[in-house]
Amino acid sequence: MFSHPWRELVAVAFALVLVLLLGQAYSHGIRLPNHGAWRPVAESLNQALIFSPVALLLVVRHQGWETAWLPRGALLPRLAIGIALSFVALLVYTAAEADAPTFGGVLLNVYAPANVPIAVQVLCEDVTIAVLVVRLAAAVWPRWAIVATAALFAAGHLPTMLEEGASTGALLGLFVDFGLGVLVLGTAWRGADILWFWPIHTVLDITQFVRAA
C-alpha cells in the first residue's frame, strides 16, 4: 500500500504531535467560544480543528480515505448498520446498568443535539486510530500494530488519571481498556471500515454521562 511505510509512520507521528499541541491549546482556552445557542456547532468545529493535522496528512501525502478505513462506497447503508447496532448497545446498557433510565430516556439523552460535539470528537479519534494502525501495520506485522495501538491509546489516559488522583482500581482498568482495544481494532481490521463502528463508539462514550434522574 505504501512505498515507504516507515516514512509514512514518521509523518503520522508528526501529525499526532500537532494534534496533542492543538489539544493543549484548547485546554488553555485557545479555541472558538463554545457557549450559548451555537455551542454544539462551535465545539464540533473545535474538535475538528484539533484533529485537522490527521486529515491534512492524507491531503499532503495524496492518500485516499480508504487508508483511514473510510471507503467511499455505500456510505448510508454502512452508517445505518452502525446506528442500528448502537440501538442494540443501548438496549444492553439499560438492561445491565441498575441506575440507567428507560431505553426511551437513554435514547433521548444520547441522541440529543448537545452531544453532536462528542460524536465529532469520537469520529476524529476513530479516524486517527485507523490512520495509525494502517501505517503501522504496513511497517510491521499487523497483529503487532493492533496490540501496539491499543496499548498506546490505553496509556494515553494515564497522565490525566494520575493528575486527577485515580485509584489503583481505576488504573488497573486500563488493562481492560487495552483488551477491549485489541478486540475492537481486530474486528475493525477485518472490515477496514470505521463508519459502522462510529455510532456504537459514540453512544457508549455518552452513556457514561447518563444516569437516572
Q: Which three cell numbers stand for residue 88?
A: 442494540
Give the domain extent around 68. 5-209
Looking up cell 483488551, which residue turns up?
Answer: 179
pLDDT at residue 157, rounded to an integer: 66
Each residue of 129-181: pLDDT tens digit? Answer: 999 999 988 888 888 888 888 887 777 667 666 666 767 776 677 787 788 78
Residue with the bigger pLDDT between 45 and 4: it is: 45
For the chain, what is the domain count? 1
Residue 51 reports pLDDT greater than 90: yes
Residue 186 reports pLDDT greater than 50: yes
Helix (H) or strand (E) holding 187: helix 168-191
Question: What does pLDDT average to over the chain?
Answer: 86
Q: Which three cell numbers stand for residue 201?
A: 463508539
Overall average pLDDT of the 84-104 stretch: 85
Overall average pLDDT of the 47-66 stretch: 95
pLDDT at residue 159, rounded to an integer: 66
Residue 105 reports pLDDT greater than 80: yes
Round to whole Å and give the CA distance between 50 and 26.
8
Contact, 137 vs 145, CB < 8 A?
yes
Round to whole Å and give the CA distance between 211 and 105.
10
The pTM (predicted TM-score) of the whole model is: 0.85
Overall average pLDDT of the 182-188 stretch: 83
Round to whole Å and give the CA distance between 42 and 33.
7
Mean pLDDT is lowest, of 40-49, 118-127, 160-169, for 160-169
